[in-house]
């Protein structure tokens, strides 16, 4: 059986705080690639002439890559090691960025999004488990705080930098991904030098590629609460990442691409600050607080659209950021605590599957409803779904999250 003890750092390898920073950078840069498109969707929509439904499908199609990664490769880093798995994820991210850079039509965007999802699915599960093992001691809550805060920082930075480049620099659909490729190369060099924590890595041929979505029987009841909370939390993030630019342009009449990136950056920074500022909260309290906050958050989003109010939208974004952060951090912290050491990456991957589905599937529904009815009705339906989810999950959380 593979051992997960701390390993001795060899010459020229990054260990300690530097290794943790490299693993955090891995998570941040992968997630930055997923939101670099957020301010660009409106430009792509005009350039390639596709509908609102197609726009949401371009956003959501990356879940195909996520699910492929997590179903087929959820345990790969447990077997072959964290570093080889992370390097493979970065290679996939580079190919994805190249497809975006040279995209000529909708098919290129779909392929790039699927590859982006594949890289994130492979790399983030490995990176999160890597962080948990690099931290000394039995308390793994710090790993959850670092992983989730850097996740949101990456999401926010990707959207903000892309929005600024799209608004104020030339070649808006090219320059963003040229810059992103440079960042990927730099982080890959760090990962190459980072200490491995799987003490007896196996070979890739030892990994079973049989699709699996497995949570050990003895923790399944405990797993339900964080999974449901993670779904709802990331549904809020998906709403902003895919639809906020269109809402700003159509309902609030704000067409500046930097504003679209800045709104998502606000959500992400509030989320990261919330994660760090609430570290003293227990995982159970964190999840329950998130579920309660989701209700006024979605109510404010609908009100902002109804009244075409940027002030309400800014307030809604802050509340959504706090709710998403608490739900995601609390859920991941519970998963890290309950997962057996030799199956940690697999269980974390199962949690991410729930999060990625929440991030993508509601967005598709909103896109369809926006075309059949109108954007405000679609947002109201989304708000209703989140409220029902929150109430159901509150019941689950009170019973099982101990």
Distance CA 334, CA 220 (A): 12
The listed range with the strongest mean pLDDT (158-167, 206-215, 373-382) is: 158-167
Token pair recorded at residue 247: 């809402």
> Where is pLDDT greater, at 402 or 253?
253
Q: Is the pTM of this model over 0.75?
A: yes
Q: What percent of the chain has pLDDT over 90?
A: 44
Burial class (CB in 10 A: 0-12, 13-18, 19+), 301: buried
Q: Which of 52-61, 99-108, 181-190 has the lowest mean pLDDT?
A: 52-61
Q: Angle between the 283-306 and 375-400 helix axes, to the nearest 10 degrees?
A: 170
Distance of CA 22 to the CA centre of its chain: 18
Q: Return the pLDDT at 36.
A: 94
Token pair recorded at residue 174: 């090219």
Q: How confident is the model at residue 8 (pLDDT cuts 50, 70, 90)?
A: very low
Q: Return the pLDDT at 330.
A: 82
Ramachandran bin of 222, using left for φ above 0, alpha for ψ from -120 to 50, beta for the remaining angles? alpha
Answer yes or no: is pLDDT of 100 > 50.
Answer: yes
Answer whether 224's CB lies under 8 Å from 127's CB.
no
> Where is pLDDT greater, at 397 or 250?
250
Token pair recorded at residue 142: 């710090």
């Amino acid at each position: 059986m593979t051992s997960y003890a701390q390993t001795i750092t060899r010459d020229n390898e990054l260990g300690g705080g530097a290794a943790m920073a490299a693993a955090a950078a891995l998570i941040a840069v992968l997630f930055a690639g997923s939101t670099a498109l957020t301010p660009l969707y409106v430009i792509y929509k005009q350039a390639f002439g596709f509908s609102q439904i197609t726009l949401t499908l371009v956003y959501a199609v990356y879940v195909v890559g996520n699910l492929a990664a997590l179903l087929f490769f959820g345990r790969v880093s447990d077997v072959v090691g964290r570093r080889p798995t992370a390097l493979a994820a970065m290679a996939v991210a580079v190919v994805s960025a190249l497809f975006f850079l040279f995209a000529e039509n909708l098919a290129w965007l779909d392929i790039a999004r699927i590859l982006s999802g594949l890289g994130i699915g492979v790399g983030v599960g490995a990176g999160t488990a890597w962080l948990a093992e690099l931290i000394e001691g039995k308390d793994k809550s710090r790993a959850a705080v670092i992983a989730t805060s850097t996740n949101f920082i990456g999401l926010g930075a990707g959207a903000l930098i892309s929005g600024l480049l799209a608004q104020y620099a030339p070649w808006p659909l090219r320059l963003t991904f040229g810059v992103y490729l440079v960042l990927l190369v730099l982080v890959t060099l760090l990962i190459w030098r980072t200490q491995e924590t799987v003490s007896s890595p196996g070979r890739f041929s030892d990994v079973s590629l049989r699709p699996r979505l497995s949570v050990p029987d003895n923790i399944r009841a405990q797993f339900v609460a964080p999974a449901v909370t993670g779904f709802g939390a990331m549904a809020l993030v998906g709403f902003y990442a895919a639809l906020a630019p269109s809402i700003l342009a159509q309902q609030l009449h704000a067409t500046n691409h930097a504003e679209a990136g800045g709104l998502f950056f606000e959500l992400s920074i509030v989320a990261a600050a919330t994660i760090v500022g609430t570290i003293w909260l227990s995982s159970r309290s964190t999840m329950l607080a998130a579920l309660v906050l989701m209700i006024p958050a979605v109510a404010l989003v609908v009100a902002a659209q109804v009244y075409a109010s940027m002030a309400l939208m800014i307030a809604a974004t802050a509340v959504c950021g706090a709710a998403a952060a608490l739900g995601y951090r609390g859920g991941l912290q519970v998963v890290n605590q309950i997962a057996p050491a030799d199956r940690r990456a697999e269980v974390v991957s199962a949690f991410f599957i729930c999060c990625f589905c929440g991030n993508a599937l509601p967005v598709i529904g909103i896109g369809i409803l926006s075309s059949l009815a109108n954007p405000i009705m679609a947002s109201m339906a989304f708000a209703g779904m989140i409220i029902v989810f929150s109430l159901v999950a509150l019941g689950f959380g009170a019973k099982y999250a101990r």
